[in-house]
């Protein structure tokens, strides 16, 4: 479930470690490392590096490292169930679609910065640690998408708009919960053909994406949207009390208002 909002919360939790040196790495699950050809010794080569800065692109959290004149980076992707903890505490208590327990058996990697420890806990092992990742395959970050950038993303595309929003190569950071909430707020059905949106609809949608991310970040997560509790059979639209309908778009379950989303 970690979407852009959760990834940004993880990034912020790592900011206090800037300037600290990596003193050791515990790679508890070698299969968690990407790309697949990266060896254990490659991962341990970051020991002695200093955390220079943290970044985020979509759902990917990036840690920029320095060791003398050498520059490296690691990327953390959390899949559906990954959580980040710093010194045993995390910015997110529980994830939708994941266990609320924090079982150390689910720790996949621990990175020690002296007395401080970064741990990635992932029950279903759907996330990954990337060594020196490239992020040029990702689309523009959803948190700062502009109408002009979104126009380039959707124009000429025959895919449903929900599928386009969730395609990380088109626009980075949105997942199922944010996608449904954003389209509900923008009054657009999730199965509308992307290229058929008018210029005005695209402009409104871009503003709604940015505003929704900002508002739900302040609330505490992607699960705090106005529609979250109504995503169920018998659910009613919190705007106009019409019935919420369900359909599958791009392999994902989607909920929308039967009245105002057109």
Q: Output the domain CATH number for residue 155.
A: 1.10.8.50
The answer on 110 and 18 residing in a single domain is yes
The answer on 151 and 246 residing in a single domain is yes
Measured CA distances, 89 to 8, 20, 28, 121 (Å): 16, 18, 19, 11
Report yes or no on 137 lying in a domain: no
On whether the CB atoms of residues 206 and 145 are closer than 8 A, the answer is yes
Q: Which domain holds residue 245?
A: 142-257
Report yes or no on 164 lying in a domain: yes
Last residue of a domain, one of 89, 106, 131: 131
Give me the mean pLDDT over the 151-167 stretch.
97
In this predicted model, what pLDDT tens digit does every residue of 179-232 receive, in sequence order? 999 999 999 999 999 999 999 999 999 999 999 999 999 999 999 999 999 999
Last residue of a domain, one of 131, 158, 176: 131
In this predicted model, what pLDDT tens digit does every residue of 73-121 receive, in sequence order? 999 999 989 999 999 998 887 676 666 677 889 999 999 999 999 999 9
Q: What is the maximal distance between C-alpha atoms in the chain?
A: 61
Report yes or no on 136 lying in a domain: no
Last residue of a domain, one of 109, 131, 153: 131
């Amino acid at each position: 479930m970690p979407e852009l909002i959760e990834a940004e919360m993880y990034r912020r939790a790592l900011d206090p470690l800037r300037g600290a040196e990596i003193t050791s790495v515990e790679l508890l699950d070698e299969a968690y490392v990407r790309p697949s050809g990266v060896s254990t010794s490659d991962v341990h080569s970051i020991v002695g590096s200093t955390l220079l800065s943290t970044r985020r692109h979509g759902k990917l959290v990036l840690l920029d490292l320095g060791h003398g004149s050498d520059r490296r980076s690691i990327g953390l992707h959390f899949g559906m169930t990954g959580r980040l903890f710093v010194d045993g505490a995390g910015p997110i208590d529980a994830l939708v679609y994941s266990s609320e327990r924090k079982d150390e058996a689910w720790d996949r990697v621990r990175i020690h910065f002296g007395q401080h420890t970064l741990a990635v806990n992932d029950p279903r092992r759907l996330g990954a640690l990337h060594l020196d990742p490239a992020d040029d395959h990702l689309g523009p970050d959803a948190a700062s998408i502009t109408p002009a950038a979104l126009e380039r993303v959707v124009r000429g595309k025959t895919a449903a708009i929900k599928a386009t929003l969730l395609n990380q190569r088109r626009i980075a950071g949105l997942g199922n919960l944010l996608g449904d909430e954003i389209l509900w707020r923008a009054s657009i059905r999730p199965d509308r053909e992307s290229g058929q949106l008018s210029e005005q609809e695209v402009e409104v949608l871009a503003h709604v994406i940015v505003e929704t991310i900002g508002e739900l970040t302040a609330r505490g997560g992607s699960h705090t949207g106005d529609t979250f509790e109504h995503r169920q059979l018998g659910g009613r639209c919190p705007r106009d009390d019409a019935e919420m309908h369900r359909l599958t778009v791009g392999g994902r379950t989607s909920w929308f208002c039967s009245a105002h989303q057109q």
